[in-house]
Amino acid sequence: MSKVIVGIRECPQEPSSVEAVLRRAVSAVTDATSAYLPPDGISKDELISRVLAATDNPEINAVMLGGRNGHP
């Protein structure tokens, strides 16, 4: 298993695994922002909830914190 640099942290995961986790998070955030657009968009509270769910979870924590908190 190789170490992948994400930002300034080293992640002891395979590059494809890290990339997949980050792609899912970016996709979820993009989907949430698209759903927020008028005229029938989601509320700002729902947007924030979706962004937090996509970016503050065990998979993302494992990638961004180098596996110290949570597991993908």
Residue 70 lies in a domain: no
| In the predicted structure, residue 70 carries a pLDDT above the cut 80 | no
Q: What's the mean pLDDT when you consider all of the chain? A: 80
Q: Provide mean pLDDT across the span 31-41.
A: 93
Give me the half-sphere count of Cα atoms (radius 13 Å) on the Cβ side of residue 6: 24
Q: Express as a percent the part of the chain with pLDDT over 90.
A: 53
Q: Express as a percent the part of the chain with pLDDT over 70.
A: 71
Residue 71 lies in a domain: no
Q: Which domain holds residue 34?
A: 4-64
Number of domains into which the chain is organized: 1
Residue 42 lies in a domain: yes
pLDDT band with cut points at 50, 70 and 90 for residue 68: low
Question: What digits encode the pLDDT tens for the residues 1-22?
Answer: 444 444 444 555 555 788 899 9
CA distance 4 to 22: 13
